[in-house]
Amino acid sequence: ALPFRSSLHFDYQVGETRNRDTDYERDFTSTAVQFSTASLKYVTFNFNYHDLDVDNNVPDAMEKDITRRSVSFKTKPWKKNYLRGSYRWEDIDRRNASPHTTRREYYWVSFLNRAYRRIDFTARYTYERTDDPFLNEEWGLFRSEKTSVPTRTDTVRAAVNWNLRGNCSLSSTILYEGAQSNRYDIDEDRLEMIFSIWFAPRENLIITGYYSYIDAKIDALTEYKTYHGWWQSDFSFDDKTSYDATTNCFNLMLNYRFHRNIALTSNVIYADSRSDFDADVYNVNVGDYSKLKIERISFALGLDYFYTPQLSFYTKYNYRDYNDKEVNSLDGQLNYFSVGMNYTF
């Protein structure tokens, strides 16, 4: 501990692993330092430094040195409101891998409001940027680069929890994420919304339900054919093709404990998923190649027997219905029973 309500922590580690069959070795050295201070009246700061160096004597194997630095804060700007944030930057140096250097920046800020006794509101924004992300390269007749790491990601999340009464609460969450990759000119937008309810009309009866909505859109360059000739449509093109996917899901759960050791459980799930390409390429609707319209229904009804607080047994009847509106041959239903045991140590 230091003066002015401050503290300093230091950690150093060194290690080695060896393969007894090949005598290959892997060495690592880790150094970490953390400094925290609450010298200011309403703000607390944390400063962190971490360096990790990994070496080995395996031929052509990747070696790397990772250096992370971060600063974070938390404060209470006014009554029943809390503000937090963090900024971290990371440098990765590689040997025997491409690219040799990657720089990653990450910061977030969050806000919590409890102005009303029964309502909590939280909001969070996250930003991540990666310069020259790690590549998976394959060399054949031509050089092929494969990576799915976006170079920039922005995420916004907002949530509200409302305790209506002691036996009923509502919650909702909205999340938006936008990801871009300037290496391959790929853009992805994703929107998620979840609304849920928890209700206990009686001491031995609990009802839980939620609705979720997911909408994703990907814009990427597309190759129309896997073979090439002399016609225009036989070559790769630079037009972006959109891929849209939407999912709606309803879930209702019931737990009724009609005896001290026996509970009736039930669960119903309905999901509707749709996705397709949204573009015309050389007068051809590529959406016909990947159009999905799927409905799924799940139902379960079971009994739980609590023999002891640690040991319980269950039996359950399950029903599944799969309906593919594009390919009827994939439709089907499934009925089955399951039994099992749970033990908590």
- The tens digit of pLDDT for each residue in 19-62 reads 888 889 999 999 999 999 987 778 999 999 999 999 998 888 88
Q: How far is CA 316 from CA 152, 204, 250, 255, 313, in A?
A: 46, 20, 21, 13, 10
- Cα of first residue to Cα of last residue in the chain, in angstroms, is 38
3-state secondary structure of 112: strand
For tokens 């031995």, what's the residue?
204
Q: Which residues pair with 328 in a beta bridge?
A: none
User: What pLDDT band is residue 228 in, cutting at 50, 70 and 90?
Assistant: very low
- C-alpha span between 45 and 35 (Å, rounded): 8
The single-letter DSSP state of residue 309 is S
- C-alpha span between 127 and 87 (Å, rounded): 10
Beta strand 43-56 pairing with 332-343: unpaired
The pTM of the full predicted model, rounded to 2 decimals, is 0.78
Instruction: Tell me the per-residue pLDDT of 74-126, one tens digit each, with 9 for 90 and over.
Output: 998 888 899 999 999 999 998 887 778 888 999 999 999 987 888 999 999 99
Copy the structure tokens of residue 219.
């814009």
Instruction: Tell me the per-residue pLDDT of 237-247, one tens digit each, with 9 for 90 and over.
Output: 556 678 889 99
User: What pLDDT band is residue 135 in, cutting at 50, 70 and 90?
Assistant: low
Instruction: Select from 145, 149, 126 the least CA-distant residue to 137.
Output: 145
